[in-house]
Amino acid sequence: MVEEGKIKNIDNFDRIMGKSEEKIDLKGDFVLPGFIDSHTHLVEEGLDMERVDLLEVETLEGAQYYLEKEVSKTPEEEWIVGVNFDESAWKMNDYPTKEDLDEVTEEHPLIIKRICGHVAVANSNALDMIREDWNKVDREKGLLREEVVWNLDDIMSTTKKEKIEAIKRAIQKVQSNGITSVHDVVDRGSWEAYEELDEKEDLDLRVNCYLHYDEAEGLYPTEVSDFLSLRGLKMYADGSIGARTAALHEEYEDDPGNRGLLLLSREEMEDIIKDAEEKNFQMMTHAIGDRAISTVLDAFENASTKNEELRHRIEHAEMLWEENIKRIRDLSMVLSTQPNYAYKWSSSTEMNEKRLGKERLKKCNPYWDIQRALIDMAFGSDNIFLSPFFNIYCATNHPILNQRISTYNALKSYISAGAYASRNENKYGSFEEGKMADFVVLSENPLEAKDVRDIEVKMTVVGGKIVYEDSEEDRLS
C-alpha cells in the first residue's frame, strides 16, 4: 500500500500496491525498486536531444552529410552542434579539423562534441566566438579540450529557460528507461534551473546535484524537497582515454611521449577536499587514468577526515589497479562506474587496446575485483546509452572474462548501491515500509531473462505517481 508517496506496507514484491482503493493490474509483469543512475548530465542530455546525433556515423563524410542537412534548415549565424562523434570507429581514426567543418559551413558557428565529452572540434566561425584567454584551445586544428568543452553552453549563451526545457526533455527520457533518481553534475546556472522547476512542483524525478567545486560560493548541502538536493561538489582529476587526456603513469601506446593531463595537482585537490569537508559536502572526483587515481587517493589520504561520514566518491575509475582497490576500501570511498565504457571500448581491437596496449587493457574496469573487495560500487550511464538494461548487459558480459559480475550484483549496483552512494539508502533503493514508493514495472524478471537488453519498461512510478507508461492501455481498475 502507498500512502502520501511512501510505502506503507508490502504483501510481497508482486503486489507492492497492497490493499488500496486504487489498484494497478500489472498482469504478470515484474516489479523492482526504481533504477538510480549515479552519473548524469541532464541539462546536456536535454540540449543534445535537439542537436545532430553522430553516434551511428562511421565516417567523416557521413558526419558532414548530417551536419549539412542541419545547415540547410538553420538561419545563418545560428549555432549548429553535433554530438557523440567517435573517431575511433572511423577509418581515419583521428579527430576532424576546423577545415573539415568549414567545408560544412562558414556562415554558422559549428561545433561537434566527442562522445566522451572531453574533446570537441570547432569551425573557424565558432573559434572566433571563443575568448583568446581560454586555455586548451588549438586554433590551428580547431580542437577544444576539457573545461572548454564543459563550458560550451556558456559560449553559446544558453538561457535558464532553455536549460529548464532541456531538463524536462531529459527527465522524460530517463523515466522511460525506468530511472527514478539521478546523481546529476551541474553548473551554477543549471542548479538554479532545477530550483525553479522544483519551486513550481514540476520535478517528478529525484535529483541529487553535484556542483562544480569552483561555483559553490555561498552554498551548502541542502535538501530542497523530496525531489531535489544539493549533495556534493565535483572536481576533475584528468580527462578521458578516448581523448588521450586521462593521466597515465606510462605513455599512451598510440601516442608516444603523451601521458595525458593531470588537471589538478595533489595540493590543489587537498585544498578542495578540505574546503568541501568544512561545509560537509560530499566530493565526487572524476579520475580515469592510473596516475590520476593514485594522485586522488594521495590527496584524500592526506586531507580528508570525513571519508566514512561523507562517502566521498571516485567517478569512472577505469584504470584501477589492485593496490588502489585496497586503498579505496581502506578509505571507505564509493565508486561510481559506467559499464558501457568497458563493453564499448575494451573489447579486443577496440579503442582502449589501441590507446593502452593489451597488458593494461586486461586490468581496466575490474568490476569483479571491486566487488570482491566489498567496495560499494554504483552504476550509471554518463549519458551514454541511458538504458540500465544495456549497462547491466555490459557488466555481465564484460570483455575481460574474469571481471564479469552476476545480473543480481549488477542490479544492486543500479539500485541499492546508487541510493547508498548519495546517502539516501534510508529513503529509497529498496522495498521497505516508510521508504519512497519509487518503482519500475518490467516485462520480465531480469534474473530469468535470456537477454536483459530485450526487457521493456512498462511503467515508472515516483512517489506513488505514474510518471511513465508504455502504452495507452488503462491499467487502473
The string of pLDDT tens digits covering residues 268-282 is 999 999 999 999 999
Question: Residue 148: pLDDT above 90?
Answer: no
28-65 pLDDT, tens per residue? 689 999 999 999 999 999 999 999 999 889 899 999 99
- Name the amino acid, one letter, at 192: E
Listed range (24-28, 82-86, 420-424) with the worst mean pLDDT: 24-28
Q: Are 398 and 407 in contact (CB under 8 A)?
A: no
State the residue for C-alpha cell 562558414: 106
Domains (range + CATH), the chain: 2-34+435-469 (2.30.40.10), 47-155 (3.10.310.70), 160-421 (3.20.20.140)
Residue 12 is predicted with a pLDDT of 47
Residue 20 is predicted with a pLDDT of 41
Strand partners, 461: 439, 466
How many C-beta atoms surround the C-beta of residue 179 within 10 A?
Answer: 30
- Name the amino acid, one letter, at 169: R
Residue 129 is predicted with a pLDDT of 86
Residue 260 is predicted with a pLDDT of 96
Question: Residue 23: pLDDT above 60?
Answer: no
- Mean pLDDT of the 18-32 span: 62
- Name the amino acid, one letter, at 114: R
Read out DSSP for 257-282? T------S-HHHHHHHHHHHHHTTPE
Question: Residue 159: pLDDT above 70?
Answer: yes
Q: Please list, in sequence order, all residues whose beta carbon lies within 8 angstroms of the beta carbon of residue 275, skipping any fewer than 6 positions away.
A: 213
Residue 42 is predicted with a pLDDT of 96
- Mean pLDDT of the 399-417 span: 96
Residue 22 is predicted with a pLDDT of 47
Residue 170 is predicted with a pLDDT of 97
Helix (H) / strand (E) element for 33: namely: strand 30-33
Residue 145 is predicted with a pLDDT of 86
Per-residue confidence band for 13, with pLDDT thresholds at 50, 70 and 90: very low
Dihedral in degrees, nearest 10, Cα atoms 14, 17, 18, 20: -150
- Mean pLDDT of the 98-122 span: 90
334-360 pLDDT, tens per residue? 999 999 999 988 877 788 999 999 999
Question: Residue 213: pLDDT above 80?
Answer: yes
Q: How many CA atoms lie within 13 A of 144 on its CB side?
A: 28
